């Protein structure tokens, strides 16, 4: 997942590069607006984050120029100006979303996930089942953009079930996926992992159906109106 960051605040940009890198993004960073324009237009990126207050070429002008040639690129605009007129100007210039400084990293991460969902973009290490998304590299799972509190083993079991969606998964297959030595994971332990995971997935309208004598099947469940 390649992300371009145009931000002249080096402390903030360095923190964003580090944080985004931990969540599976490959980040290219530029501090100058004019240079950012050349790199954005000549490169291939999945997402872009642009600060309004860039030197040489301001973020709004950069946004308009990039939007003309790359209309489908998801772009999030950063600014220290949070007035209504500034938000409207940013969105009218072509931003897909707008985030005012200062902000917390989890909010930025959630907004980027929303942009990816709307643009049907998933990182290479991610899998999706309805609104349930799991990223193996980041070792995290979300439902409708909300993080799920899953243990490492629960994440691994969920990964196996999503990988074999629409198929019944046996306990032996789950054990094989959890370790190179399936005998190290008892079948009773698999039942415990499934039970815990099933309870945590209930609010997500995702069920794990037990197929007696065969195994487990991940399935969508109806949500209440």
The highest-level CATH class for domain 126-220 is mainly alpha
DSSP strand pairing (140-143 vs 146-147): antiparallel
- Pick from 148, 112, 153, 131: nearest CA to 24: 112
User: So what's the pLDDT on residue 18?
Assistant: 92
As a CATH number, domain 2-118 is 3.40.50.2300
C-alpha span between 164 and 160 (Å, rounded): 6
pTM of this structure = 0.58
> How high is the pLDDT of residue 47?
92
- Looking only at the bridges linking them, the beta strands covering 26-30 and 2-6 are parallel
In this structure, the dihedral spanned by the alpha carbons of residues 189, 194, 195 and 197, taken in order and rounded to 10 degrees, is 120
What pLDDT is attached to residue 121? 63
pLDDT of the residue at 193: 93
| Cα gap 106→113, rounded to integer Å | 10
Q: What is the pLDDT of residue 37?
A: 96
**What is the torsion angle, in degrees rounded to the nearest 10, for the CA atoms of residue 8, residue 10, residue 14 and residue 19?**
-60
Question: What residue ranges do the domains of the chain occupy?
Answer: 2-118, 126-220
Low pLDDT (below 50) residues in the chain: 224-225
> Residue 184's pLDDT is what?
61
Got the DSSP string for 129-198? ETTEEEETTTTEEEETTEEP---HHHHHHHHHHHHTTTS-B-HHHHHHHH-S-GGGS-HHHHHHHHHHHH
Structure confidence at residue 157 (pLDDT): 94
Tell the residue number behind the tokens 């995702």, with chain if given: 206
Pairwise CA distance, residues 192 & 45, whole Å: 42
């Amino acid at each position: 997942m390649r992300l371009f960051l145009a931000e002249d605040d080096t402390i903030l940009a360095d923190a964003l590069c580090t944080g985004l890198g931990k969540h599976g993004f490959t980040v290219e960073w530029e501090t100058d607006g004019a240079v950012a324009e050349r790199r954005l237009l000549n490169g291939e990126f999945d997402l872009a984050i642009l600060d309004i207050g860039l030197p040489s070429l301001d973020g709004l002008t950069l946004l308009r120029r990039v939007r003309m040639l790359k209309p489908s690129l998801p772009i999030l605009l950063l600014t220290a100006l949070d007035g209504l007129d500034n938000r409207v100007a940013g969105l009218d210039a072509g931003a897909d979303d707008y985030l005012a400084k200062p902000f917390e990293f989890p909010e930025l991460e959630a907004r980027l996930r929303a942009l990816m969902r709307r643009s049907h973009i998933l990182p290479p290490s991610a899998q999706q089942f309805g609104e349930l998304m799991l990223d193996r590299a980041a070792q995290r799972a979300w439902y409708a953009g909300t993080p799920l509190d899953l243990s490492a083993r629960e994440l691994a079991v969920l990964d196996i079930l999503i990988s074999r969606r629409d198929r019944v998964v046996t306990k032996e297959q789950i054990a094989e996926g959890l370790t190179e030595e399936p005998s190290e994971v008892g079948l009773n332990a698999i039942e415990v992992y499934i039970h815990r995971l099933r309870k945590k997935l209930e609010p997500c309208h995702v069920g794990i159906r037990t197929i007696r004598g065969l195994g487990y099947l991940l399935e969508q469940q109806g949500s209440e109106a």
